[in-house]
Structure 1
Amino acid sequence: MKRKSKDIIMDSDSWSTCPFCELSVPSHQLQRHANDHFHDPSDDADHMLLQQSRQSVSGSGYEAVSGDCNYRYGGETSRDNGQCKMDEQISCLIGLQTRGNFYKVELGLTTLLRNCLESETENLKSILSGYVDHFQSLDSEDAGWGCGWRNIQMLSSHLLAQRQEAKEVLFGGSGFVPDIPSLQRWLEIAWEKGFDAPGASQLDHVVYGSKKWIGTTECAALLRSFALRARVVDFGPKEESQSVVGTSVDKAVDKARNDKTDNNEVKNSEAYQVLMDFVWNYFSNENTIQFGQQHVVISEKTPLYFQHDGHSRTIVGVQAKHQQNGYLAYNLLVLDPAHSTPALERSLKKKIGWQKLVKKGRNTLKKPQYQLCYVDPGIASEEEMENLKTIDSVFLEL
């Protein structure tokens, strides 16, 4: 997918300044000149040579042609005088990134979902994250591979709306959620900064323009590169714990996908109570939330990027019901990128069929491994940033 250039107003009788290199050019030539900044190296006859040279270059960035303002966005980083500076790469990306398109829900999804939860007559307690937008996968763009990016967009929409410190640093302070190609660029820059080196190596340090699947560790690496404290939690059989740490679930479960035996099957659904308990305790902040007369409250916690083999979704809350045996039965409240946003909005507004779209009980958990990513408050210090470059995780046995 090629990046769209910014809209530029042209006047054939005047001169204009290029917004990328500040060179003055005739206005009627500005569009063509600006498009040169978006030149795709895959269109070059020497593409194979560039691909070979990429192996000797760490990360991705921009190529400055000596004596010219041409920057190859996403190409090689070599210069006559050394590697292109990181701040130049980031500055270019801030100017070139595009806002992600999504269907804006009137009143907001959280408000509609809260109304539905409050309308239920059973003795239920529900906790929701604050504001979040739903980003659905589109057949024309990312169907079948883009769910990971869509969950990053949903999590980012919450951070931008709810956390001022995150809004100031995310995506160069742009204040909006970028599209998938822009997010792919940000991830490549995170890798070049040294975040999640093993994950970067597994994906050959390149995701822009590809349909490569990503997972929670890529989400964590991207957000950590902005000094946000993204955390990862793994759930799975004890024997799989070492293989999961530091990798995305999609990579970690390759063995499970190819194993014909029943050893990797989780047969006892009681095991998933561990995951359910964690999600409830996470949103309730270890029972510091007081319901009082309410049975729906808003938590300050971020949504959870929810990954398993083959798909990922976003957990925006959790619901609990007391059973006769004294235990709590939980429903995860989930936004799925595979669902249509307009259909979800209609269902929530009419309060018809929304439970099937949003509520996910323990009986729906059938995968051998799951992984979550969330963001703790605050901005990391320089010293902490070095530690955040290694994507480790907390492991909980199912």
Structure 2
Amino acid sequence: MENQHLECPVCFRDNFNSSDALSNHVQTHFSDNETLAASSSARERNPGNQDRAPTIEEQLRERRNRISALRQPAAQSTSVKQKSQNSDQVLLDIDEFRMENDRQIALRLAREEEDLAFAKSLQEQDSVIIISDEEDATTSVNHHEDNFAASTSADSFASNSAMQMDVFQGKNADSGYTCTWGLISRISQILREDDRTETFLLADEFAHFASDPEDYGWSCGYRNAQMLISAMLSIPRCKEQWRARLGSCFVPSILYLQQLMQQAWNAGWDPQGNTEHRGEIIGSKNWLGPIDLYSMLMNLGIECQITFFVHATSREGPHPELFRWCQEHFANRSNRNVLPIYLQHAGHSRTIAGIEVMKNGGQNFIIFDPSTKKEKARNTTIGKGKWLGYHFRRSLSTVNKARYEVLHLTGNILTPAEIERCKQSSRSGVRGVRKVS
């Protein structure tokens, strides 16, 4: 029988016939100091195996332990600046080493290695944006002179650094570790200065949430939900409803999102969804879809709607009807906040932050993808205009799956009677509007 070849998780060479050969090769990607540190740690854990080189799994475990240690609250004598530099440097290391679930995404990121070098140089210059849990509950931001993260209007939710910090406070809140504020204002400036752009429409400011190394491959739905919630909390009535139901205004962690979804199912929402998750979503790696998020938000009194975009036949191809629908959504600014849109297709979900029409007639979506690394997102806010095309601008022709499910928040609050009526309706399946391209 033909031997199975092993693949390097860093450079994707796949001609290794044994785990020992692969392990030796992987070590060449890292510095001697890191290899020695990993070897030393492995020997301390296994004193009887002093001469054995650490396995790939042991090296990954060692790096995860280093990340976990850095995530612990720092001593008061430790500066936020030093903590931020150290933690981001280690995360750059683990991102380089991480084995991606989606090979296409991994190859795309590998082609952008020169940008990682730029990210490291920015950290050395103290210009990476870090949202910290210290310094009197205000956002600690190491500013580059061209940073537009705080340049939005005085009334903007994102411009209030204290409010940005508030959404990450509490035991059930996300840490904000992979969060980036200020992208909308920066993208808006880039598009205004782009001679190719005819017009563009963007959502109001909200945060980008990237998948973490610990949840990469299954968390895209949860990260998109966090993006929508960060936007929703800019609406006073939604913010007050959130506070009334959950006790405070915060962006939930993935675990707490799962708990909120289970509460919705236990209350009688979408029995089919509960069955599909086997009633065991809490603490699992189950994927989250727009219908699951619909049940969670509606149970909390936050109105949202589902729309399906399909082709007249089963073929794949662009969805001009989806673009027209998004264009109308982002253009409607009459006395209301403009919120982003949750976009789901088979195997992945993303968040639509806006649309762009080019002078040559081209049409683009502005998309926040959880698979975009936080380093890339943060560096876009400080002058890397070319990264707009790499990570956020997606042409209509690339949004070409056979079927898309869209969830959008209306900004309205449901009465108890409306919640009960919609819940009863969901028991026979959550319905949405169907549009054909």
Counterpart check, 1:159 vs 2:206: no
Tell me what 2:309 maps to.
235
Q: Tell me the SS of whatever aligns to 1:209.
A: coil
Deviation at 1:352, TM superposition (A): 2.1
Deviation at 1:96, TM superposition (A): 5.1
Maintained 8 Å contact 1:103/1:135: yes
3-state DSSP of counterpart to 1:205: coil
In structure 2, distance between residues paired with 1:173 and 1:315: 29
User: Normalized per residue, which structure has more helix?
Assistant: 2
Q: 1:381 aligns with which of 412, 415, 419?
A: 415
Query: Contact (CA 8 Å) 1:129, 1:299: kept in 2 or not?
Result: no
Residue number in structure 2 paired with 1:292: none
**2:216 corresponds to:** 143
Contact 1:348 1:354 in 2 (8 A): no
1:213-362 paired onto structure 2 within 5 Å? 213-238=287-312, 264-266=314-316, 268-269=317-318, 272-285=319-332, 300-321=337-358, 323=360, 329-350=362-383, 351-362=385-396
Q: If the length of structure 1 is used for normalisation, what is the TM-score?
A: 0.62
Task: Answer 1 or 2: higher relative contact order, Cα 8 Å, separation at least 6.
Answer: 1
Pairing partner for 2:240 from 168, 177, 181? 168
Q: Is the 8 A contact 1:229 1:378 kept in 2?
A: yes
Root-mean-square deviation (CA, aligned residues, Å) is 2.6
SS at match of 1:349: coil
Q: Which residue of 1 aligns with 2:405?
A: 371
Q: Distance in 2 between matches of 1:135 and 1:184?
A: 17
- The alpha carbon displacement at 1:301 in A equals 2.0
Q: Residues 139 and 105 from structure 1, CA distance in 2 versus in 1: closer, same or farther, beyond 3 angstroms?
A: closer
Residues 102 and 134 in structure 1, CA contact (< 8 A), matched pair in contact too: no
Structure 1 residues 95 and 126: CA distance shift in structure 2, 3 A: closer
Question: Against the structure 1 CA distance between its residues 151 and 123, is the aligned structure 2 distance closer, same or farther, given a 3 Å change threshold?
Answer: closer
Distance 1:112 1:352 in 2: 12
Counterpart position of 2:281? 207
Partner of 1:72 in structure 2?
none
Aligned-residue sequence identity (percent) comes to: 25
Tell me which amino acid in the other structure corresponds to 1:149. Y
Structure 2: which 5+ residue stretches go unaligned? Answer: 1-67, 73-168
1:95: how far off?
7.7
**What is residue 192 of structure 1 aligned with on the other side?**
266
Q: Check conservation: 2:179, 2:209, Cα contact below 8 A.
A: no
Show the 5 A alignment for 1:7-22: none
Q: Distance in 2 between matches of 1:131 and 1:353?
A: 19
Structure number with higher strand proportion: 1
* 1:95 to 1:114, Cα distance in 2 relative to 1, 3 A: closer
1:150 is paired with a residue whose SS is helix
Q: Which residue does the alignment assign to 2:43?
A: none
Corresponding residue for residue 130 of structure 1: 204
Helix, strand or coil for the counterpart of 2:208? coil
Cα distance in 2, alignment partners of residues 149 and 237 from structure 1: 27
Matching residue's letter, 2:418:
E
Paired residue secondary structure (1:339)? coil
Contact 2:309/2:435 (8 A) holds in 1: yes
The 3 A distance-change label for structure 1 pair 173 and 158 is farther
Secondary structure in 2 matching 1:345: helix
Does the C-alpha gap of structure 1 residues 145 and 274 become closer, same or farther in structure 2, counting only changes over 3 Å?
A: same
Amino acid at match of 2:345: H
Where structure 1 has 5 or more consecutive residues not aligned to the other structure, the ranges are 8-93, 240-263, 290-297
Distance change >3 Å, CA 120–CA 216, structure 1 → 2: same
Query: Is the 8 Å Cα contact of residues 311 and 403 (structure 2) preserved in structure 1?
Result: yes
The separation in 2 between residues aligned to 1:220 and 1:159, in whole angstroms, is 14
Structure 1 residues 122 and 98, CA gap change in structure 2 (3 angstroms): closer
Tell me how far apart the structure 1 counterparts of residues 376 and 311 of structure 2 sit (CA, whole Å). 37
Q: What's the secondary structure of 2:210's corresponding residue?
A: coil
1:206-232 C-alpha deviation (Å, 9 max, x unpaired): 211111112110111111111111111
Alpha-carbon distance, 1:205 to partner: 2.2
Cα 1:184–1:100, aligned 2, differ >3 Å: closer, same or farther? farther
TM-score, normalisation: structure 2: 0.56
How far apart are the structure 2 equivalents of 1:102 and 1:204?
30
Q: Tell me if structure 1 keeps the 8 A contact 2:304–2:410.
A: yes
Q: Deviations for 1:171-196, whole angstroms, at most 9, x for unmatched residues?
A: 61421101100110010001111222
Cα contact 2:264–2:299 (8 A) shared by 1? yes
Q: Distance in 1 between matches of 2:336 and 2:382?
A: 22
User: Is contact 2:226–2:252 with CA below 8 Å preserved after alignment?
Assistant: yes
